[in-house]
Structure 1
Amino acid sequence: MKQKTVGGCPKPLWIAATVLAASVGVTACGGGGGGGGGGMPMLPMGVVPTPAPAPAPSPAPAPAPAENRDAVPGSEPSPSLSAPQAGSTAAVGNDSEGIYAAGVRGLAFVGADGSIARSFTVGTLWGSLKLTGLDWSFNPDTEFSFLSVSQATGSGTFAPKKTMNGTYAYGTRDPADFGPLTYTIENALAVSQASVVGTWSNNDSSLGVTVQVDDKGVFTGTTSGAEVGQCTLSGTVALAQPGSAKNMYELKLKAVNAATASKDDCELTLATAGSYVGPAAIGLVPAGVFESNGYFRSLMFLIRSNTGATLLVGLRKQP
């Protein structure tokens, strides 16, 4: 099954500096007198050599610009897992529910009802957990999706509101590590239905997505780029637990082909009815190097169709 990824976390900016060094060689020629070779050049009697001018002092290097530790305009401070916002998952949720992360594409959504959706570098996992205290195991409905769909098995433990560990396997593969997955700061963020209102988009030229969400959670949007083609989008994004402040939503998306040429056909409708569903949350993207620079909001979601096609998306909130 196809897996598409948009967004995600921000790429580091590397700055390279090149220094050009110049050297100067001075050659002096002397005259006079015979004698063997190899000695110092002879100078005429009574002639005092003029000393070479002293090299000009190198200019002092410009002072390095001060590191900007101030809040970036438009950003917000990070919430704190040690002092979570009132009503947030970290404040009122159970010991397992929430958002977890590992690596670049290792994102997991664990619902209050034990549902789970997780992305890997390759493939996605969907299903539910059987919970016994802090121990978990996959229920029989849990599947791993990549090229084909296979039943997944696995088990492990939670460290309450800190980590999720364990092993998993699917098909004929040997068990592999399922974690550690880390409980993220987004769990300390209190949200509402109004938190998703506005325009959300990314600037990926090969897989672009833009959506506009109204105060009821209804959205419309478009896609562009070679990876996904031209689609018209519609759907809803609503709190998983209406009336709560927990940072977990359910997103339903419908894609329709909007291409005017076959090369731009909407990839989200191929071999599917164009309908997708899955969990979503408000993500926090660092606005700079330092925590004091603040964070920008994103709308991140992991959705799949009834054929197993999946889409992992992170869209930045627009002013």
Structure 2
Amino acid sequence: MDKMLAVELPGLTLKNPLMPASGTFGFGDTKTAQKFSLNELGALVLKTTTPTARVGNPQPQIALVPAGVMNSVGLTNPGVAAVVNDKLVKLRHQYPDLPVIGSVGGASIADYVTVAKQLSASHQVQALELNISCPNVHEGGMAFGTDPVVAAELTHAVKQVATVPVYVKLSPNVTDIVAIARAVQAAGADGISMINTVFGLHIDVNTKQPVLGAGAGGYSGAAIKPIAVRMVDQVSRAVDIPIIAMGGVETVDDVIEMYLAGADAVQVGSAHFKDALIIPHLAAQLPARLRELGYDSIEDLRQQVKAGRANAN
């Protein structure tokens, strides 16, 4: 992979800045994940893991809609013991050198602590992503990401037990995302991931029923990119920890736009429905586009954005 794309983040040495958003590739075992070598990724973000197995929400859990995707999966997963003892063992056997980020969920702070402790103690992940922003779980999930005080308390509790860096995934479904970003930074977060899906509802006029079994759910896709870019820009000006940005990324220029907004790496989710190999394709296109725009590397782009903001201040 082109050295122009190398990225260093807390706990993570990435060959490129691109990774699938949590859930997109499961635990490296989905059909999409099996279409190419995962070593082409900058990192793999696992599906969110909870203390015990979850069946998730009623079917259908995913629906393609105009300009995006609706989902209400509900954190379906086999539980942390199965992830540590089975899923991650198989993943590590096939990809021993792939940077892996474990995604942590739960219905209480104690749940998050339990999962974070077991994932980090397994020595099979290089970082954790706290999913405090999922709009598809009736208990927990987004509830932890809408109150700065609660978000900080959760972050602090996880930092006490985690032996790897902790990234906190922020919700766009809030009034003031900057306040929450500042709170988790003050509580010890090593980085931020943002944004999760936008809470929405799509009704089929023929059936007169929601397209998702649970009714409302998370909306993702190209249409939410301006929301994501705006929030990344706001948060990046307010904190000094790295940001892994996501939300509507489909093209190489979308990746660069996220960097211009202040991102340090980028996740891709819904675009996989259009192109299963979207990340290898973006990684292949990125060096030439960076050169065309006058950048020596992705790090050069990042540093120029930081310098430009410092000069502006």
- Output the TM-score relative to the length of structure 1: 0.20
Greater C-alpha Rg: 1
Relative to its length, the structure with more helix (as a share) is 2
- Output the TM-score relative to the length of structure 2: 0.20
